[in-house]
Amino acid sequence: MSFDLSVIPNKNIIVAVSGGIAAYKSAILVRRLKDAGFDVRVVMTEGAQAFITPLTFQALSGNPVHTALLDPEAEAGMGHIELARWADLVLVAPATCDTLAKFAAGLADDLLSTLYLATKAPVWVAPAMNQQMWAAKATQRNLNTLIEDGVHVIMPDAGAQACGDVGLGRMPEPEDLARQVTEYFHRAQRAIAEKFGLLAGKHVVITAGPTRESIDPVRYISNHSTGKMGFALAAACYAAGAKVSLIAGPVSLDTPNGVRRINVQSAMQMLEQSMDQLEKGCDIFIATAAVADYRVAHVAEHKIKKAGDELNVALVKNPDIVATIAQQEKRPFMVGFAAETRNVEEYAAGKLVAKKLDMIACNDVSRPDIGFASDENAMIVFFAEQYRLPQRDLEKASKQEIAQQLVEAIHDALHHEPDETDPDELK
């Protein structure tokens, strides 16, 4: 599962397909861009339609396919202007020799060439052609012109071609193209977030997932935590402009985009890494991990053989990571979590004071709809008394949405002026 909160779902991509055998790859490209969260519309030249049908792209993109310069169904019949305004990026894949020549010469005799002149969006071209056509002086001259005009040229791959030749001219694989587009928007969004995000300039350390406390080389003690909430928070903090270090117990989750992940197993390892991050400089510490309260006193060197009906294992108490961090001289803004099965609010309020936290979020894991392994959550957030902020009830929503609301709560606490609080708020 990926937790990648970004601007991508709000971005519009035009995939322009010109007439080459590589057009079959464009169908996969559209699918990959859709999977990444982009809204995709397809423009096809007349030549492209000889290799693959518009119906294929309509089914994959979920949008009508554009083939005509003057579309009678478009506003005022000016379909190219509408598309030009709609696009956040125009990706021509494959881009044939003819298409490159038209762009370089400024021709506008079909929908694609006219769209190229009409759009303010970045234009990327992925040339695909016979290796000799690629090497031709005219082609290279046209490419240089496009580069000077600000077009981003994606270099073709080398290999066997449909004509039987071997050399440069193969369109890159759809997965690689989709990755490049995704990274482009991530970089753009990151630059904005680092300047204007709610947590811009902050270093956030997050613990997530369970810990495993070994009994012997084969067996261990653990819990049902999946780490989903912590990983969602890591993604949300990064999207808010923070530098994020994620100390993760053993979980099967993809690392959120841009987040530095540190894998640990035991509670002692998690504490060690937490202290190390604190020493390096930490502004906000978010403890979502379900840390084992106890560990085995003496871990067996070899697998314990089955003998008898009972096995007695001595346990010793693990250190309280969040309380330990909160007591340090270089204390960051502390956010704790309370996963309880009863008296949720009472226990959470007690932990807030006892562990000297700035903020705590509590949830009832006995509820099957928001418990461990659920993709949704609901929480109550309490703030330390000095912030003079009322509790916040976060209604049931996806863990990604909950994470964004928690980021807002952290921001509000960090920037809250107590003297601005209306006393009636606290009643």
List the catalytic residues.
Answer: 163
Find where tokens 């010793």 sit. 316
Q: How far apart are CA 266 and CA 285, in angstroms?
A: 19
Query: How many CA atoms within 13 Å lie on the side-chain side of 130?
Result: 7
Q: How far apart are CA 224 and CA 212, in angstroms?
A: 11
Beta bridge partners of 41: 14
Are the CB atoms for 202 and 194 separated by under 8 Å?
A: no
User: For 316, phi and psi rounded to 5 degrees?
Assistant: -125, 155
Beta bridge partners of 272: none
Q: In terms of C-beta density within 10 A (0-12 exposed, 13-18 middle, 19 or more buried), how is residue 171 classed?
A: buried
The count of other CB atoms within 10 Å of the CB of residue 332 is 21
Q: Which of 260, 134, 271 is nearest to 204 (CA)?
A: 260
Are the CB atoms for 101 and 142 separated by under 8 Å?
A: yes
Q: How far apart are CA 424 and CA 427, in angstroms?
A: 5
Are the CB atoms for 422 and 388 separated by under 8 Å?
A: no
CB proximity list for 176: less than 8 A, separation 6 or greater: none
Q: What Cα–Cα distance (Å) separates residue 39 from each residue in 53, 91, 163, 186?
A: 20, 13, 34, 16
